Amino acid sequence: MAESMIPIGSISIPLTVPFGLYPIANISIGTPPQPFTVKLDNSGGDLWVPSRKSDLCKVGDCSLAGSFDERRSETAISDDFDNEFRIEYGDSSVYTGILIQDTVNIGEGKITDATFGLVYQSKNIPGNRMDGFVIKGSLGISYDKAQSDRNAHPYTGVLELLVEQGVIARRAYSMWLNSREEIAGHLVLGGVDPTRYDPPLVGLPIVPMTGATSEAMVNVQLSSVICNNCDGESQVRDELVRDAIIDSSTAGIILPSKMARAILKDFGAVTDSLFAWPLVKCDIMDIDASYDFHFAGMYGPKITIPVADLIVPHIPGMKFSNDEDACFLAIKESGREFALF
């Protein structure tokens, strides 16, 4: 692949994709800078990190991901406004604390007086072996300007601040997550790296989500799902147009019930209350089949995913009762009538 080519008016940030699941990035906050490893979230604009007193650090080690001590920062401001912070995600996890302002460094970019959440309490935290680790911070890069209607004090998100302070030229971002075998990629804020895709670059309409009050989510239309070479032929798994949220912080693919159950049946998948994702036999990775996900109607783009790319490799010691190796399937049922990718 050609050497990376970052457009003028944009910045690039290296990403890591642990277990091939979701991207994380390194940032720093405060003066002098305090380092953090945060999960990347394109479905919201909130930046939050744990306080040094957070329960996230009491039940797990924050020495690697980082925790913020506002007393050690010369530029921290925490008492100038109504500062309650609360955010709830689609997996029912909730993080609460206060809003605070400080300098934030993202790659080669720096924004001052950035508002972010300092988290003290959490509940319903997902902690399973597929997730690999409990997230201890999040960097929201949504293009929704006002942040956040979930908090008592609306404020401006990171992407908008980068534009306002002249760090990037426009409210845009792109992610390159590399191949399934690699754990490194990068995020471009302010543009697109033309060396990271084969032209043409196809656009999809971003449509309002049914019942949504915010434009923060990147929502497109999923038109159909087809299994190629399932039992030797192509079989339609669903043809009903549905909302599909493109969400960088979702570990796998979450589908409406009817669609998900049809695919789980293809795999002979089983669910276990101990795990957030279905279990399948690991040798399914060897079958020559794939799924086509069609977007934006009959003439819209199609993304083909080989079955092997939907299987999270064997974790030592995880077996079925017949002693066959068990792997995770990166597709599950949402119980709702929209999809998450």
pLDDT in tens, 210-248: 655 455 678 888 888 888 887 755 566 666 667 888 887
pLDDT tops 70 at residue 287: yes
pLDDT tops 70 at residue 4: no
Q: What pairs with residue 228 in β-bridges? A: 290
How many Cα atoms are found within 13 Å in the side-chain-facing hemisphere of 210?
A: 9
Cis bond upstream, residue 32 (ω within 30): yes
CA distance linking residue 231 with residue 270, whole number of Å: 20
Strands 109-123 and 84-88: unpaired
Q: What pairs with residue 295 in β-bridges? A: 222
Closest-CA residue to 97 (of 127, 57, 141, 142): 57
| Radius of gyration of the CA atoms of the chain, in A | 21
Cis bond upstream, residue 316 (ω within 30): no
Q: How many CB atoms lie within 10 A of CB 175?
A: 20
Per-residue model confidence as pLDDT tens digits over 155-197: 888 999 999 999 999 988 898 877 666 677 889 999 998 888 8
How many Cα atoms are found within 13 Å in the side-chain-facing hemisphere of 231?
A: 7
Per-residue model confidence as pLDDT tens digits over 107-140: 999 999 999 999 999 887 665 433 445 567 899 8
Tokens of 255: 């589908």
Q: How many CB atoms lie within 10 A of CB 96?
A: 17
How far is the CA of 258 from the CAs of 213, 231, 273, 279, in angstroms? 26, 20, 20, 18
CA distance linking residue 314 with residue 303, whole number of Å: 25
What local confidence, expressed as pLDDT, does residue 151 receive? 58
Tokens of 28: 């720093």
Q: How many percent of the chain have pLDDT more than 70?
A: 82
pLDDT tops 60 at residue 101: yes
CA distance linking residue 105 with residue 112, whole number of Å: 9
Q: What is the mean pLDDT of the chain?
A: 81
Q: What pairs with residue 279 in β-bridges? A: 270, 328
Alpha helices in 100-227 (DSSP H): 158-164
Per-residue model confidence as pLDDT tens digits over 86-95: 888 766 778 8
Q: Which residue has the tokens 């977007």?
A: 295
More reliable by pLDDT, 153 or 203: 203
Q: Which residue has the tokens 């720093």?
A: 28
What local confidence, expressed as pLDDT, does residue 32 receive? 97
What local confidence, expressed as pLDDT, does residue 201 receive? 85
CA distance linking residue 129 with residue 30, whole number of Å: 33
CA distance linking residue 132 with residue 37, whole number of Å: 14
Contacts of 189 (CB under 8 A, 6+ apart): 10, 11, 12, 13, 106, 107, 109, 141, 159, 162, 168, 172, 173
DSSP state at residue 204: -
Closest-CA residue to 119 (of 158, 73, 156, 88): 88
| E strands in 60-108 | 84-88, 94-106
CA distance linking residue 97 with residue 99, whole number of Å: 7
CA distance linking residue 268 with residue 279, whole number of Å: 9
Q: What is the dihedral of CA 281, 282, 286, 290, to 10 degrees?
A: 70
Per-residue model confidence as pLDDT tens digits over 40-60: 888 788 899 999 988 888 766
pLDDT tops 70 at residue 257: yes
Contact 114, 99 (CB under 8 A): no
Tokens of 137: 């911070």
